[in-house]
Amino acid sequence: MPDYLYIYQGIDTFLVENAVESLVKTLNVDPFNILTYDLEEQTIDHLLQEMTTVSFFSDKKIIKVKNPWFFYESSKEEGISDLIRYFKNPNEDTFVIFYLSKALDQSILISKEAKKYCRIELIKDMDKKDFEPYVKSVFKTFDYQIDDLATKELVERTNFDIVLLNNEVEKLKLYKMDQKQIALDDIRRLVSRNLEENIFELTNAILAKNKRRIMEVYGDLLEKNEDPIRIISQTSSKLKETIHTKKLLEKGYTQEKIAEFFNVKPGRAYYMVKNASSLKSRDLEKYFKRLTELDYQIKSGQIDKKIGLELFLLEV
């Protein structure tokens, strides 16, 4: 029997959407008959009506279903029973694709039935090591060249976020449309970090005692006119997060569970675990205590905020 019901499960929405689009191309359905339903905004009844209605404009249609909450939340809503009945006898003119960000809750009846009747595709996040080859491959597809240093910097600045990375790739392609050659200076000129990414980089550099990197990231923050007090506060927060990560590791949490706990990307969780594993608690607490003291000294007028922060960074 052909597959009419699909579940695409993955954390990274960009990769999930790409996988779904690959499926859509193979189904050969008129674009006019590709519909999207978001169940945070639309009802199950409306979805069921669409699923059971025969298309008048072509013999096939695709329905993409986002936020199918009923796979995670128990409900006595009448439409749930109708959905289960539909799973057992789907409309052969209609392909239904459910988007899931996490695994089905097997304690819920409709999830158990979905596992029986739906084709489930698990979309894994890209491994950290795959990002640089991916960047080179994307540029090569469009006859662009990017050197190794530029590739590394682009991946670092976009912090292993595939959506952000692809947005920056498009920007770089437009910028170097004539030359089709991308160098490190182009990345530094065009791809900026947001505050959270800069703070994450700064904290990593502090924990690694990498003074060159510390001053590079601090320079980026100065160029953006970031307030030293805000930098201190955000860095303290990241150190506290690392201390918390260390405690979770001691309790047996895996990198995947830590990513889920803090709701961060796998690439970010990798560095959190790396920092927490490689450093002693007393070192983390020493930096955290020093920044707390510095914050008090600045706010009580004992030291200028910029001088205080720079002295701390130089002492690392």
Q: pLDDT exceeding 70 applies to what percent of the chain? A: 98
> Can you give the pLDDT at residue 58?
63
Q: Which of 153-157, 205-209, 291-295 has the highest mean pLDDT?
A: 291-295
Whole-number pLDDT of residue 79: 87
At residue 145, the pLDDT reads 95
- pLDDT digits 0-9 by tens, 118-171: 999 999 888 888 999 999 999 998 999 999 999 999 998 887 888 889 999 999
Look up residue 76 and give its two tokens. 């006595």
DSSP states of 45-91: HHHHHHHHSPPSSSS-EEEEEE--GGGTS----HHHHHHHHHHHS--
pLDDT at res. 302: 95
Query: Does the structure show a pLDDT above 90 at 64?
Result: yes
- Neighbouring C-beta atoms of residue 249, cutoff 10 Å: 17
d(CA 123, CA 43): 27
Sorted by where each starts, the structural domains of the chain and their CATH numbers stand as: 5-122 (3.40.50.300), 128-190 (1.10.8.60), 195-315 (1.20.272.10)
pLDDT > 70? residue 56? no
Q: What is the mean pLDDT of residues 238-243?
A: 90
Are 272 and 196 within 8 A, CB to CB? Answer: no
pTM of whole model > 0.85? no
Of 240, 238, 198, the residue nearest 216 (C-alpha): 198
Under the banding of pLDDT at 50, 70 and 90, the label for residue 57 is low
